[in-house]
Amino acid sequence: MAPAPNRPWAAEVGAPVGRLRIALCLEAPNPTALAAPALDAIAAMRAVLADLGHEVVEVERLPLDGPLLSAAQQGIIAANVARAVEQRLAALGRDDAAGLIETVTAMLAEGGKALPATVYLDGLAAIHGAGRAMAAFLDDGGYDLLLTPLLPDAPPPLGTLSLSPADIADFIGAIGRYTAFTGLQNMTGQPAMAVPVGLDASGLPRAVQFTARLGDEAGLFRLAAQLEQAAPWAGLRPSLKA
């Protein structure tokens, strides 16, 4: 369980940040190719952090078993979706969800109902192990934060992640790619934040992700305020170039 904050988080905005030691990792738990918008966003953020006096240390990879965690996440999500659908059907007095839920939701619910309890428990054990591994990674390296891309590419076109896709295989590939760097925090419980870093060559927003230790939302709020002052983003207006 994460510790309670020492004071209201609003009080952290503008509070001293100190000199941070930040690990930078460009490889997702399941390796994903990075396109120019992601690499450019990281380069721009590194420059801002250097100007602020923070230390950025690039690491090759995180101490995680990517395929194991993917399987764990899929099993846990499917089991929870199955339970949620069955609870809602019971409340509605219906026997099936035909016509009520999206294609992907239905697929997850069916898979979750057939999932052995041991697979679900193995998934929980795997994500708890990931949480301990990330805690040790930050502690052993003396890192205050982890910096990664937010997305591996520009934001996807509308409809790419529709829960009623024309092709399930295309959806599975897309969701795996676009959550390559953000799924981990759902499993470890670590607080994380997306920070805008300007616009890409097409006029779309680009961003990076910072992840803190379990319970250190305060550190993220402090850094966010510092970054917003050093490189303001409120005036940016995304626009697709013809």
Question: Which tokens sit at 189?
Answer: 């419980």
Q: How crowded is residue 85: how many other Cβ atoms within 10 Å of its Cβ?
A: 21
Residue 198: Cβ-neighbour burial (10 angstroms; 0-12, 13-18, 19+): middle
> What does DSSP assign to residue 165?
-
Average confidence (pLDDT) over 193-211: 95
For 86-124, how does the pLDDT look when each residue is reduced to its tens digit (9 = 90+)?
Answer: 999 999 999 999 899 999 999 999 999 999 999 999 999
pLDDT of residue 240: 66
- From residue 62, give the alpha-carbon distance in Å to each of 24, 133, 138, 203: 10, 9, 10, 32
209: CB partners within 8 A, 6+ apart: 147, 148, 149, 150, 181, 182, 192, 193, 194, 195
pLDDT of residue 104: 95
Separation of alpha carbons 100 and 138, rounded Å: 44
User: Are the C-beta atoms of 28 and 38 separated by less than 8 Å?
Assistant: no
For 121-143, how does the pLDDT look when each residue is reduced to its tens digit (9 = 90+)?
Answer: 999 999 999 999 999 999 999 99
Separation of alpha carbons 240 and 151, rounded Å: 18
Average pLDDT over the chain, rounded to an integer: 94
For 216-242, how does the pLDDT look when each residue is reduced to its tens digit (9 = 90+)?
Answer: 999 999 999 999 999 999 888 887 664
Average confidence (pLDDT) over 190-219: 95
User: Are the C-beta atoms of 191 and 220 separated by less than 8 Å?
Assistant: yes
Instruction: Give percent of the chain above pLDDT 90.
Output: 88
| In the predicted structure, residue 50 carries a pLDDT above the cut 90 | yes
Specify the DSSP element, H or E, that contains 179: none
Query: For the whole prediction, is pTM greater than 0.85?
Result: yes
pLDDT of residue 241: 62
